[in-house]
Amino acid sequence: MDFDLLNTLQQSGALLEGHFQLTSGKHSGRYIEKFRLLEQPRALDEVAQAMVNDPLVKDIDVVLGAAVGGILLAGAVARILNCHTMFTERVDGAMTLRRGFALQPGDRVLVVEDIVTTGGSVFELLDVVRDSGAILVAVKCLVDRNEPPGIDFGAPGKALLNLPIPAWDPDECPLCEEGLPLIKPGRTGKK
């Protein structure tokens, strides 16, 4: 990668300290507010370029992400690859293609994700790809919060940055035990 993603996250104010409830429901002492990075066009372009600088990422028909953070990321990657971009939304808690988006059997799909904690959203995106009959080429993530080697999605690809950040179930959270106030950043409608 031509740029230092960790430094870029820190300089943009995207790496926060505190007591956070993640989209997964888990609690953590650090949170990555990806929009502090994604709101900067140059940083978004650098991230997208780093995602496509991979021999796996070739002959892509569609870049697929999840609303909301995945929309900007998928669009930026698709712009570089000169292909279609689509995003899923949650309907009654389930990832769904809407707004006329439809993957076709045989479409070669690159799945992109921003921050991975449990990988739940990526696995849901993979189900959308499989259910359509499209071909999953690779999965590319901005940051994987897990210890290396990260989550195995059963597909080629990896995160641009592996940044292990502990996360706990609420009933095992040491920050709750300390009585620190809980911050609930952006919500995706995930159940």
- Which CATH number covers residue 55? 3.40.50.2020
Can you tell me the distance from the alpha carbon of 26 to that of 11, in angstroms, rounded to the nearest whole number? 26
Range of the domain at 146: 5-177
Predicted local confidence at residue 189, as pLDDT: 47
Predicted local confidence at residue 43, as pLDDT: 92
Is position 190 within any domain? no
Overall domain count for the chain: 1
Residue 21 CB neighbour total at 10 angstroms: 18
Average pLDDT of the segment spanning 171-185: 95
Predicted model pTM: 0.89
Predicted local confidence at residue 182, as pLDDT: 96
pLDDT band (50, 70, 90) for residue 2: low
Average pLDDT of the segment spanning 77-97: 95
Q: Locate all alpha helices (DSSP H) within 3-155, ordered by sequence.
A: 5-11, 35-38, 41-52, 69-81, 120-132
Is position 73 within any domain? yes
Percent of the chain residues topping a pLDDT of 90: 82
